[in-house]
């Protein structure tokens, strides 16, 4: 009896200590908000309800001076951003301190489109990316998209480490497989699903990255983006182009990855739904 009490007391104390000092999980989210100013109320409500540890945001469509910083701070999030007037713009919001922030590839190339920011938080290197849309196969924007993906692969080779927890959170503007497209035959060869951009994504993943959603749901048919037009969401005519890719040490800690399609509902929704990956605490 005495032995039991001692064991029990020690265990209870250890659990209390664990609760006080550690969290059981780390949740990292990514969401293309399609204008943070137009989506401020939505973003506030979503953050307040879901409370992820980290949220990567794409398509802010505003310069850093126009960001609703108070909204994030009120909810207990630090914010680092790379903004741009009208187009693009990426940010990372985190409940833990953000350090070692890098804005842009910093490879001596063109960084005038605000599509890349990376920071360390909670022991994870988090990159927030907005991959160029490409517009249409074969045009200049499409070529830029392919170059951008190749450039990201070079960034991994030059600046990332396989033995460190790394999350690439992005609107990739590429659907990887037939499962990620509502009508693969219709999308075959089209921008967002063409062979060259899928090959570029394959090259990227070959560095050593796991698609968190697909790892958890090998046969899943959830989408993350639905066109605003033609009742696409109502008909569930979507694509899964928003993904969290994790390096091996982080992927080993993956417990779930879900797409919050509820957030796509309503007239004032973004055309993208948030994706949330859950990892055991490091």
Partner DNA sequence: ATGTCACATCTAATGTGA
Map the footprint of DNA across residues 91-120, applying CB under 7 A.
Answer: none
| 141 lines the binding site for DNA (CB under 7 A) | yes
| 70 lines the binding site for DNA (CB under 7 A) | no
Q: Which segment (73-81, 132-140, 197-205, 250-258) binds DNA by CB under 7 A?
A: 132-140
185 burial type by CB count under 10 A (0-12 exposed, 13-18 middle, 19+ buried): exposed
Map the footprint of DNA across residues 24-43, applying CB under 7 A.
Answer: 34-35, 37-39
| 268 lines the binding site for DNA (CB under 7 A) | yes
| 85 lines the binding site for DNA (CB under 7 A) | yes
Q: Least distance from C-beta 131 to DNA, angstroms?
A: 10
Identify which of residues 97 and 227 has a Cβ nearer to DNA in the complex: 227
| 133 lines the binding site for DNA (CB under 7 A) | yes
| 240 lines the binding site for DNA (CB under 7 A) | no
Q: Least distance from C-beta 121 to DNA, angstroms?
A: 26
**Active-site residue 130, yes or no?**
yes
Identify which of residues 144 and 217 has a Cβ nearer to DNA in the complex: 144
Dihedral angle over CA of 240, 242, 247, 248, nearest 10: -30
DSSP 147-172: HHHHHHHHHHHHH--TTS-EEEEEE-
Residue of 53, 77, 171, 223 marked active site: 171
Residue of 53, 77, 130, 222 marked active site: 130
DSSP the chain: -HHHHHHHHHHHHHHHHHHHH--SEEEEEEEE-S-TTTTHHHHHHHHHHH--SEEEEE---S-GGGS-HHHHHHTT-EEEEE--SSS--EEEEESS--EEEEES--SSS---S--EEEEEETTEEEEEEE-----STTSHHHHHHHHHHHHHHHHHHHH--TTS-EEEEEE-S---SGGGBS-HHHHTTSTTT-HHHHHHHHHHHTTTEEEHHHHH-TT----SEE-SSTTTTTTT-EE--EEEEEEHHHHTTEEEEEE-GGGG-STT--SB--EEEEEE--
Identify which of residues 117 and 251 has a Cβ nearer to DNA in the complex: 117
Q: Least distance from C-beta 173 to DNA, angstroms?
A: 7
Identify which of residues 18 and 190 has a Cβ nearer to DNA in the complex: 190
| 61 lines the binding site for DNA (CB under 7 A) | yes
With CB under 7 A as the contact rule, the residue among 45, 87, 110, 183 that binds DNA is 87
**Active-site residue 217, yes or no?**
no
With CB under 7 A as the contact rule, the residue among 26, 62, 117, 169 that binds DNA is 62
Residues that bind DNA (CB under 7 A): 34-35, 37-39, 61-62, 85-87, 132-133, 135, 141, 228-230, 267-268, 270
Active site (catalytic) residues: 130, 171
């Amino acid at each position: 009896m005495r032995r039991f009490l001692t064991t029990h007391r020690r265990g209870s104390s250890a659990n209390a200590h664990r609760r006080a000092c550690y969290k059981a999980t780390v949740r990292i989210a990514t969401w293309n908000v399609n204008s943070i100013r137009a989506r401020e109320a939505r973003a506030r409500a979503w953050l307040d309800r879901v409370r992820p540890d980290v949220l990567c945001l794409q398509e802010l469509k505003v310069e850093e001076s126009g960001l609703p910083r108070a909204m994030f701070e009120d909810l207990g999030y630090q914010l680092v951003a790379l903004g741009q007037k009208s187009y693009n713009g990426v940010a990372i919001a985190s409940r833990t301190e953000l350090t070692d922030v890098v804005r842009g590839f910093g490879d001596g190339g063109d960084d005038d489109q605000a599509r890349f920011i990376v920071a360390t938080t909670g022991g994870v290197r988090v990159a927030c990316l907005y991959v160029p849309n490409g517009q249409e196969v074969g045009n200049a924007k499409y070529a830029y998209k392919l170059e951008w993906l190749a450039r990201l692969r070079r960034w991994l080779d030059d600046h990332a480490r396989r033995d460190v927890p790394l999350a690439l959170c992005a609107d990739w503007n590429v659907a990887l497989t037939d499962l990620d497209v509502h009508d693969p035959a219709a999308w075959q060869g089209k921008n967002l699903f063409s062979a060259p951009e899928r090959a570029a994504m394959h090259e990227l993943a070959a560095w050593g990255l796991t698609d968190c959603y697909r790892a958890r749901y090998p046969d899943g048919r959830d989408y993350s983006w639905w066109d605003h037009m033609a009742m696409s969401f109502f008909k569930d005519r979507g694509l899964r182009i928003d993904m969290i890719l994790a390096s091996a040490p982080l992927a080993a800690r993956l417990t779930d990855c879900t797409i919050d399609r509820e957030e796509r509902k309503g007239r004032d929704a973004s055309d993208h739904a948030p994706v949330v990956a859950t990892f055991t605490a490091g």
